[in-house]
Amino acid sequence: MKIFGIDPGLDRTGWAVVEKTAGGLKLVSAGLIHTGKEKRLERRLLEIFDAVAAELRRSAPDEVSIEEVFFSKRADTQANTTHARGVILLACFLLGYFVLVPA
């Protein structure tokens, strides 16, 4: 079973693909999506969407897991991370991956 895990962020979105084997978990691939601060928000979100969608197509995981967003300070950081998480969820949905989102 292959699992695609994502740590969302507007500036940096990290991802990894792990495979569950008889011996435990094995790292298949990992990467970082970095969007430049000089770009407009819409462009940065599109870059995240495109990169996540491309990696989902390439790795064809069995399941997808996205880190939940937790913040207590810096509302601007929370909003940007929430935007990034939204386009990641959209990419997963459009490619047919079900992501469990806590109620």
pLDDT tens string 1-52: 999 999 999 999 999 999 999 999 999 999 999 999 999 999 999 999 999 9
Residues in the chain: 103
Contact 12/36 with Cβ under 8 angstroms?
no
Residue 95: C-alpha distances to residues 23, 63, 92 (Å): 30, 12, 5
Global pTM?
0.86
3-state SS of the chain: helix, strand, coil percent to 5? 40, 30, 30
Looking up tokens 């979100």 gives 45
